[in-house]
């Protein structure tokens, strides 16, 4: 059984046993509240993880998902079957086939506030990693549950076409409009200074974008396949297949910004 960890007066965390290069130590499931508990991201469809969630409290009332990648949402089906409670989130056109087991009782909207007698959770639409990605702000503690929008221990993969680098950067910038004290990420430990973290990620992505543009200028033309070794020369080559997804997203953004040219699947520097 997974361990239940108290991370704040209103929040407990259970980490699923699905550690990997993508998920780090595993997917974090958060239990918000004491008397009216909201489960955020039940994680993958692992029976022992779902049992850990159920045994942690008898007061689970609803489920929220940050997005529909398979390490975050398939546990919803198992939890709903055992507890008969509603699940909420967002499905977009480009994300609707990601988790075919998922049935939502209601679609959520940006700015919506879910209120209980104990706490309020504000819905923040943060596309980028996924078009349907939502974060949730626990207003009473100014804690934001970021799913895969911000993770601790690794940068987020932006995989087109559902992933979008421009939307990701804009969503990170938007977080600075909110009063926030803590980040509870989908993977890894709680982070302090949310606005500083957002600024660091934006800066890191823009540095990577500069490397993409410089690599194209040096070679004249290229694709994610041919540029990855030069652009990601600071990471282990075993991660290149993953890095190519984000690299493609950088290339798409640069092309849309009018900073590079494209013919077919090949990109060209602008002289």
Q: Which residues pair with 37 in a beta bridge?
A: 60
pTM: 0.96
Above pLDDT 90, what percent of the chain?
94
Whether 161 shows a pLDDT value over 70: the answer reads yes
What integer pLDDT is reported at residue 1 of this predicted model? 62
What integer pLDDT is reported at residue 54 of this predicted model? 97
What integer pLDDT is reported at residue 2 of this predicted model? 76
Instruction: At 91, list the tokens.
Output: 């499905």
Domain ranges of the chain: 4-192, 211-269
Whether 232 shows a pLDDT value over 70: the answer reads yes
What integer pLDDT is reported at residue 155 of this predicted model? 86
Query: Measured between alpha carbons, how far is 20 from 26 in angstroms, rounded to an integer?
Result: 7
Whether 271 shows a pLDDT value over 70: the answer reads no
> For residue 92, with 0-12 CB atoms within 10 Å meaning exposed, 13-18 middle and 19 or more buried, which class applies?
middle
Q: Give the confidence band of 162 by pLDDT, cuts at 50, 70, 90.
A: very high
Catalytic machinery residues: 71
Q: Which residues pair with 38 in a beta bridge?
A: 32, 62
Query: Measured between alpha carbons, how far is 172 from 160 in angstroms, rounded to an integer?
Result: 18
Residue pair 244/228 in contact by the 8 Å Cβ criterion: yes
Instruction: At 10, list the tokens.
Output: 């209103």
Read off the pLDDT of each residue in 79-94 and give the average, rounded to a whole number.
96
Read off the pLDDT of each residue in 162-171 and give the average, rounded to a whole number.
98
Q: Was domain 4-192 assigned CATH 3.60.15.10?
A: yes
Residue pair 124/137 in contact by the 8 Å Cβ criterion: yes
| Tokens 């823009």, residue located | 206
* The dihedral formed by the CA atoms of 136, 133, 1 and 33, expressed in degrees to the nearest 10: 10
Whole-number average pLDDT of the chain: 96
Rounded to 10°, the helix 240-256/194-219 angle is 80
């Amino acid at each position: 059984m997974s361990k239940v960890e108290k991370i704040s007066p209103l929040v407990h965390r259970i980490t699923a046993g699905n550690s990997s290069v993508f998920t780090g130590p595993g997917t974090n499931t958060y239990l918000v509240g004491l008397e009216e508990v909201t489960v955020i991201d039940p994680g993958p469809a692992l029976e022992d993880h779902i049992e850990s969630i159920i045994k942690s409290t008898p007061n689970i009332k609803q489920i929220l998902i940050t997005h529909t990648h398979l390490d975050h949402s398939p546990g919803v089906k198992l939890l709903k079957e055992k507890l008969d409670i509603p699940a909420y989130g967002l499905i977009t056109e480009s994300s609707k086939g990601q988790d075919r087991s998922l049935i939502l009782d209601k679609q959520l909207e940006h700015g919506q506030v879910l209120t209980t007698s104990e706490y309020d959770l504000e819905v923040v639409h943060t596309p980028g990693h996924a078009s349907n990605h939502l974060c949730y702000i626990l207003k009473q503690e100014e804690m934001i549950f970021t799913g895969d929008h911000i993770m601790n221990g690794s940068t987020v993969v932006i995989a087109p076409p559902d992933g979008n680098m421009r939307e990701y950067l804009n969503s990170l910038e938007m977080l600075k409009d909110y009063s926030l004290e803590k980040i509870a990420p989908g993977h890894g430990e709680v982070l302090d200074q949310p606005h500083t973290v957002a600024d660091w990620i934006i800066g890191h992505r823009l540095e990577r974008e500069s490397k993409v543009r410089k690599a194209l200028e040096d070679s004249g033309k290229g694709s994610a396949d041919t540029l990855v070794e030069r652009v990601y020369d600071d990471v282990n080559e075993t991660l290149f297949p993953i890095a190519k997804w984000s690299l493609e997203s950088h290339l798409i953004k640069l092309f849309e910004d009018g900073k590079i040219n494209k013919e077919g699947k090949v990109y060209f520097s602008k002289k």
